[in-house]
């Protein structure tokens, strides 16, 4: 029985970790290009969850279109809010911008709270019975979420590897000065990074909300795990975010075997402290220090 429980936790961990990976990738992309840790990924995860909710439960769109709505709306809000609130502060150091990104998070979160209230909402999806495969429980929605995240992850990798815009983003992340000499417009690239980063956060938030519920705190609740995932993988590294997301997901779910569930957030904090003490640059962070 104990063996089964461990396998079950491992599977839950992989599923949850894959969901975490999307916002963690978003955070790390923004960090690589804009050089500050944007706490606003939390708010945009919530924005994505609500955008998907409005598309799906209010306008009756199928889930696939709702995913697209969550992605696009949070990406657009990301670009607009950055232009309005954070961009003018960029000259004043990453810490000032990071603090401003918390203020921005509070503003966005409360706009949603004002409009939708605090109650827990759910998507309009049919209730499906979990599959039992030789004693292991798997939810159909979990499988859908897993597939969506993995497809998106692969798309992001392909984007960075093969497209001009992706290469431009990597160039600006590496050396903005050199990139601009070669004719890459850093401002456009920053906008791109913001759009993709926040869109990924939004989709991640929506997937997490599908698993739990839609409410104004969706993003804030996963903020520590997102940061932990990005730090474990190495801030600024996209493959690192995948490894980090899975690590945090599995660590958190496995820990539930031994600690009360309420302390699962503490696992992320513990992992952050350990990684920063032992290997501050994370698994893949070549520019961690």
Partner 1 sequence: MVNYLIAMLVTVGIYAVLALGLNVTWGMAGIANLGLAGFMAVGAYTTALVTKTFGFSIAAGMCLAVFASAALGILVSVGTLRLRGDYLAIVTLGFAEIVRLIASNETWLTNGTDGIAGISGPWRGQLSPVQFNWVYLGVTAALLAVSLLVCQLLARAPYGRVLRAIRDDETLVSVAGKSTFRFKLQAMAIGAGIMGLGGAMYAHYISYISPDVFRSLISLYIFLALTVGGTGNNYGALFGSLVLIALLEGSRFVFATVPAINAVQLAAAREMLIGLGLLLVLRFAPEGLIPERPKIFTRAATDITPRN
Among 141, 232, 272, 285, binds partner 1 (CB under 8 A): 272
Among 4, 80, 165, 273, binds partner 1 (CB under 8 A): 273
CB of 213 to partner 1, least distance (A): 16
Assess 135 for contact with partner 1 (CB under 8 A). no
Assess 99 for contact with partner 1 (CB under 8 A). yes
**Is 210 or 236 the residue whose CB approaches partner 1 more closely?**
236
Mode of pairing for the β-strands spanning 131-133 and 136-138: antiparallel
CB of 92 to partner 1, least distance (A): 7
CB of 206 to partner 1, least distance (A): 21
Assess 102 for contact with partner 1 (CB under 8 A). yes
**Is 85 or 136 the residue whose CB approaches partner 1 more closely?**
85
SS3 track for 174-235: HCHHHHHHCCCCHHHHHHHHHHHHHHHHHHHHHHHHHHCCECCCHHHHCHHHHHHHHHHHCC
Assess 100 for contact with partner 1 (CB under 8 A). yes
Residues numbered 20-79 forming contacts with partner 1, rule: CB under 8 A: 36-37, 39
Assess 279 for contact with partner 1 (CB under 8 A). no
Q: Could you give the dihedral angle defined by the CA atoms of residues 160, 177, 231 and 151, in that order, rounded to the nearest 10 degrees?
A: -10
Among 5, 6, 92, 120, binds partner 1 (CB under 8 A): 92
Q: Cα–Cα distance between 113 and 210 in angstroms, integer? A: 18
Could you tell me if 140 and 128 are in contact, meaning their C-beta atoms sit under 8 angstroms apart? yes
E runs forming strands in 81-187: 131-133, 136-138
**Is 97 or 246 the residue whose CB approaches partner 1 more closely?**
97
Residue count, binding to partner 1 (CB under 8 A): 43
Assess 111 for contact with partner 1 (CB under 8 A). yes
Q: Cα–Cα distance between 60 and 123 in angstroms, integer? A: 10
Q: Cα–Cα distance between 229 and 211 in angstroms, integer? A: 19
DSSP 1: -
Which residues form the interface with partner 1 (CB under 8 A)?
36-37, 39, 85, 88-89, 92, 94-96, 98-100, 102-107, 109-111, 113-114, 117-118, 223-224, 227, 231, 260, 262-263, 265-266, 268-269, 272-273, 276-277, 280, 289
């Amino acid at each position: 029985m104990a063996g089964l429980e461990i396998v079950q936790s491992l599977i839950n961990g992989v599923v949850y970790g894959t969901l975490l990976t999307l916002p963690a990738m978003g955070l790390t992309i923004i960090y690589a290009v804009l050089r500050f840790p944007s706490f606003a990924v939390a708010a945009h995860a919530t924005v994505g969850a609500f955008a998907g909710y409005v598309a799906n439960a209010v306008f009756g769109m199928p889930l696939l279109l709702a995913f697209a709505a969550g992605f696009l709306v949070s990406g657009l809000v990301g670009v607009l809010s950055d232009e309005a609130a954070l961009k003018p502060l960029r000259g004043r150091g990453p810490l000032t911008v990071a603090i401003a990104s918390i203020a921005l998070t509070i503003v966005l979160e409360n706009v949603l709270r004002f409009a939708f209230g605090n109650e827990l909402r759910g998507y309009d999806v049919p209730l499906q019975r979990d599959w039992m495969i030789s004693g292991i429980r798997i939810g159909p929605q979990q499988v859908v979420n897993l597939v969506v995240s993995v497809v998106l992850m692969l798309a992001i990798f392909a984007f960075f590897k093969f497209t001009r815009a992706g290469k431009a983003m990597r160039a600006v992340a590496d050396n903005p000065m050199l990139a601009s000499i070669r004719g890459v417009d850093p401002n456009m690239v920053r906008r791109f990074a913001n759009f993709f980063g926040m869109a990924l956060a939004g989709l991640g938030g929506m997937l997490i909300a599908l698993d739990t519920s839609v409410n104004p705190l969706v993003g804030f609740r996963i903020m520590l795990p997102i940061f932990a995932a990005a730090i474990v993988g190495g801030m600024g590294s996209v493959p690192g975010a995948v490894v980090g997301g899975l690590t945090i997901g599995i660590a958190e779910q496995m820990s539930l075997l031994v600690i009360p569930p309420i302390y699962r957030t503490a696992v992320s904090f513990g992992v952050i402290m350990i990684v920063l003490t032992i290997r501050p640059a994370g698994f893949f962070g070549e520019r961690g220090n």
